[in-house]
Amino acid sequence: MTLMKSQRKEYFELPWAGLRSKVEPSFAKRIVINHLEYLSKARVIASPATNITENEVLTAQGRLIAYDYLVVATGHTSTGGYTKDERLNYYQTEHEKIKAAKSILIVGGGPTGVELAGEIVVDFPDKKETILKDCLDDRGRLKVDATLRVKGHGNIFAIGDITDVPELKQGYLAQAHAMLTAKNLKKLIRGQNSKKLSTYKPASDVAIVSLGRREGIAQFMCLTVGGRLPGIMKSKDLFVGKTRNSLGLKSNVA
């Protein structure tokens, strides 16, 4: 297996937990993970892809990487360093900015903006915070079929934020995409008929927004619940321990 990174980053990050790391920099040590810590049997190529054919990927360095099956999981682009140490320093710097600021403007009143405000108010209750609501620009996404294969390409899959699956773009749903795609790849590699591939059903609108370390608000279909229960479900650890365990890593870092 080969992992190709669109950026020169040497690490994998749990992006939904990054907001807390801006307020609590030590938390970043658990969410920034070097690729080789969990990919012991893979080679990692940190180079943008400039072209894709039916069986090869061309990198920005002019290297051709052959493949039998390709999974496109580009996620989103982040800033703040290519090495693990640089990323940890980035969170420390962001923490110092928040600590020194007298007032903080958060652009975007969606779940991410609300969660960031909640994290800040726990450690810095005296900061003046303003959330500026704004509409998002339309973004082009890859069209996929029910098996999460890119339409018109039988051996290319797409998962996560890059897809046009009509559902909220959330970390746990990207993980669900990955699990189904892994299952389908195994079937194809074993020579099974593509008609037997598992299909993905877009998730209903379910979301949990953390409000600091203990509180939260959750939406389950037509029901909205706030307070300690959503906080117990997500806010304390942000699913970081569970995700690290799924990668074969200890939930905590010494």
**Taking the model in full, what pTM does it have?**
0.77
Q: What is the pLDDT of residues 48-68, one digit of tens each?
A: 889 999 999 999 889 999 999
Mark which of 136, 162, 194 sits at the end of a domain: 136
Domain that holds residue 126: 102-136
Both tokens of 152, joined, read 């018109």
Mark which of 136, 157, 178 sits at the end of a domain: 136
Residue 224 resides in a domain:
yes
Residue 185 resides in a domain:
no
Give the C-alpha distances (Å, rounded to integers) separating 20 from 12, 99, 170, 185, 246: 17, 13, 17, 35, 21
Residue 22 resides in a domain:
no
Q: What is the pLDDT of residues 21-38, one digit of tens each?
A: 999 999 999 999 999 899
How many domains would you assign to the chain? 2
Q: What is the pLDDT of residues 77-108, one digit of tens each?
A: 777 788 899 999 999 999 999 999 999 988 77
The predicted model gives 188-217 an average pLDDT of: 94
Residue 120 resides in a domain:
yes
Residue 181 resides in a domain:
no
Residue 61 resides in a domain:
no
Q: What share of the chain is helix, strand, coil (3-state, %, to 5)?
A: 35, 25, 40
Residue 8 resides in a domain:
no
Residue 117 resides in a domain:
yes
